[in-house]
Amino acid sequence: MDGHLHPTCVEIATSFAWYKQRWARLPGTAALFCASQGLLALLYTWSGAFGGFRYDFARAGSARFHVPIAAYPWATWTAFLLAMAVFPLVWETLVARDNLSGIGFRSPSRPLREVAFAAFSTALFLAAMTVGLRIAKQVLPHTLALGNALFFSIQFGVIAAGEETLYRGVLQRRLSGILSLLPGIVLSSAVWAFVGHMRQPALQNLIIRFPAGLLLGYIYVRSKSLYPGMLAHWLLNVVVTAGF
């Protein structure tokens, strides 16, 4: 023995150290997500809007929030954006030393092309989902009343901005860096569908939200921007909630 490690041993040790460094980021990612959700629950409680964006479709042809959410929409929207967007962004910029551009707050290199792709792919997804819902005999919410159209347009814009920031800009980006691109998209989509919407029917999460999460994740990776995904997310919410 000449006192030197075999090259294979060095490669194994280097690979182990690299994977250990990557996986060491996983607890921090989980802590960030849990802190965001805990803050959301706390802010909802404080604002008197605990329960979040749940609808009351008891009356056919109408859509309204459970009281007291209807009385304080601005409080609910503010709480949602603070917990889902502002808090994660502050964490990423101050703690993780990242920047907003790296997270996705930048214009795509080809804005019109990426926006057109997001809209077209969303339309195809909705068309395919319509067939899937008919096969599964899944019941969609009642059609929105026209008087609530503006309100829900703003509502869905808030949801799209907050959820895309947390689930794609932060969670998917972090998981893709830890695991790899495809597992990051799949896992973040599963968390968005089944954890972020745990109060919704599991079948609805499986056949609507999980595939939608995969699409939104791909749009984020393709465009390297959150904005096309926010537009696609808004379109999905509007069409699915309003009915086909």
Give the model's pLDDT for residue 148: 65
pTM of the entire predicted model = 0.80
Do 114 and 222 form a contact (C-beta atoms < 8 A)? yes
Give the model's pLDDT for residue 73: 74
Give the model's pLDDT for residue 219: 97
Give the model's pLDDT for residue 49: 46
Give the model's pLDDT for residue 237: 86
Per-domain boundaries in the chain: 27-242
Q: Which residues of 171-182 are buried (b: 16+ CB within 10 A; e: fewer)?
A: bbbbbbebbeee
Q: What is the pLDDT along the chain (244 residues), one digit of tens a residue?
A: 455 545 555 455 455 555 556 667 788 889 999 999 999 888 877 766 444 444 443 333 334 433 334 455 777 888 899 999 999 999 999 988 888 999 999 999 899 999 999 999 998 888 887 766 665 555 454 444 545 667 778 888 999 999 999 999 999 999 999 989 999 999 999 999 999 999 888 988 998 899 999 999 999 999 999 999 999 999 988 887 765 4
Long-range pairs for 186-194: beta carbons < 8 A, 24 or more residues apart:
186/214, 188/213, 188/217, 189/213, 189/214, 189/216, 189/217, 191/33, 191/167, 192/163, 192/167
Give the model's pLDDT for residue 58: 38
Give the model's pLDDT for residue 59: 38
